[in-house]
């Protein structure tokens, strides 16, 4: 692994919402910084073999831990853990996808969550931006979206899933209105109140 000491790694735009960590890019390399506060959760999930299990079954994008000593002089906090993810040459976004792609990504997200639940874990994020396509196959790219499930908890990203996946699919399937431009005005998708108004308006 080549060292990149003293070379600036740029944070990926949009990678600021999750307090657990951020994503950075250097040439054709992608790094995920895991903040100190999230490390116990990451290590617990790793010890349960959840990451490797779902890398092996093609749900989760492959990554590896790096020797942080090479990166202290960059943008990373000195107490963070650094992962390097498999670099994808092509990144696409839901506003570029056709109906079948968005539907496949939605089903994939639900199936991944069901697989996680079997081992007592779940997704805390269900954004379509966390799914990419390798050839025609979906893969989940956000390592830090996996968390422990506590019995009786509701699914935290239910609203996010509806706005990002379900509502756009309903709009196009029921009214043949293409959802793509809605993402450009609202990156989270279509909220349920707006969908209700749109369906009523076109009845």
Give tens-digit pLDDT for 89-118: 999 999 999 999 999 999 999 999 999 999
Give tens-digit pLDDT for 41-53: 999 999 999 999 9
How far does Cα 165 stand from its chain's mean position? 13
Give tens-digit pLDDT for 131-143: 999 999 999 999 9
The pLDDT of residue 41 is 93
CA distances from 110 to 98, 118, 124, 157 (A): 19, 13, 12, 11
Residue 49 gets the label, from left (phi > 0), alpha (psi -120 to 50) or beta, of: left
pLDDT interval class at 86 (50, 70, 90): very high
With a pLDDT cut of 70, the percent of the chain lying above it is 87
Q: Is the pTM of the predicted complex or chain greater than 0.85?
A: yes
Region 9-35: mean pLDDT is 78
Between helix 167-175 and helix 99-118 the angle, nearest 10°, is 140
Rounded Cα distance, 146 and 150, in Å: 13
Q: Are 122 and 150 in contact (CB under 8 A)?
A: no
């Amino acid at each position: 692994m080549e060292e990149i000491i003293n070379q600036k790694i740029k944070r990926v735009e949009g990678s600021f919402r999750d307090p657990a960590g951020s994503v950075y890019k250097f040439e054709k390399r992608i790094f995920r910084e895991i903040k100190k506060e999230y490390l116990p959760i990451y290590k617990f999930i790793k010890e349960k073999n959840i990451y490797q299990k779902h890398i092996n079954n093609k749900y989760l994008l492959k990554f590896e831990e790096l020797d942080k000593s090479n990166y202290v002089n960059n943008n990373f906090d000195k107490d963070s853990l650094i992962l390097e993810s498999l670099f994808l040459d092509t990144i696409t976004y839901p506003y570029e996808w056709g109906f079948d792609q968005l539907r496949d990504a939605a089903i994939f997200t639900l199936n991944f969550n069901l697989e996680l639940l079997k081992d007592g874990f779940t997704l805390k994020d269900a954004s379509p931006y966390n799914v990419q396509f390798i050839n025609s196959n979906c893969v989940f790219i956000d390592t830090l979206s996996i968390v422990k499930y506590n019995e009786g908890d509701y699914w935290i990203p239910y609203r996010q899933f509806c706005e990002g996946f379900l509502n756009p699919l309903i709009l196009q399937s029921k009214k043949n209105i293409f959802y793509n431009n809605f993402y450009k005005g609202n990156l989270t998708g279509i909220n349920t109140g707006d969908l209700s108004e749109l369906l009523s308006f076109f009845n």
